[in-house]
Amino acid sequence: GAGVSQSPSNKVTEKGKDVELRCDPISGHTALYWYRQSLGQGLEFLIYFQGNSAPDKSGLPSDRFSAERTGGSVSTLTIQRTQQEDSAVYLCASSLAVTSSGNTIYFGEGSWLTVV
Amino acid sequence: AQSVTQLDSHVSVSEGTPVLLRCNYSSSYSPSLFWYVQHPNKGLQLLLKYTSAATLVKGINGFEAEFKKSETSFHLTKPSAHMSDAAEYFCVVTSYGGATNKLIFGTGTLLAVQP
């Protein structure tokens, strides 16, 4: 597609339920990122995938959060037993392979998650 | 460690007047720096980026930024604000940790444009 595509765009879920958020990166981009944007707290790095390498999970806030990337393309972020503090916008981004020249990272429009 | 500080959380200007959004960075090596804009209920859009080429970088919608190593600054400017510029602006630095090219975001500056 032309840009990074995320679904759902909006999700309201009950506390304790699991949610899955999907990201379809730009075709040909091997690097994929998940960020979280909470109200008043800026953007927080969650996880990074690059090709077939082991993902960098250093930003995941707890073991309730996990992500996978199948076939080097589509990624799914899963939040188990959701809590109210998980309410945020979850942004996916992609870029060409990492180099030292600062490849542009392109963002999707985000999945707005509300836990009630 | 890399970090960015956006000095103003809110900036208000009148339409047609200049815009200045301030950003200072900290980096242990030559950084790559970006400005992203986020309109309400929209994703992040790249305005411009600096990657060790020309220090004055021109971006979309008439914005530009100047990399000043001596001042560790990367301020965003525009000569004349338009109503459509009202949005949140993020200054960003890259962080290279192993193979990861993370973006480290500033806390954002909300730009209001008054008619």
Residues of B whose CB is below 8 A from A88:
none
Q: Which of B43, B47, B11 is nearest to A2 (CA)?
A: B43
- pLDDT tens per residue, range A67-96: 999 887 999 999 999 999 999 999 999 988
Q: What is the dihedral of CA A56, A60, A62, A63, to 10 degrees?
A: -40
User: Contacts for A64-68 with beta carbons within 8 Å, 24 or more apart?
Assistant: A67/A34
Quick one: average pLDDT of B100-111? 85
B93 Cα to chain A: minimum distance (Å): 9
Residues of A whose CB is below 8 A from B32:
101-102
Q: How far apart are the first and last CA of chain A?
A: 33
- pLDDT tens per residue, range B84-96: 999 999 999 886 6
B91 with B74: CB under 8 angstroms?
A: yes
Record: contact A56-B97, CB cut-off 8 A: yes
| In the predicted structure, residue A40 carries a pLDDT above the cut 90 | no
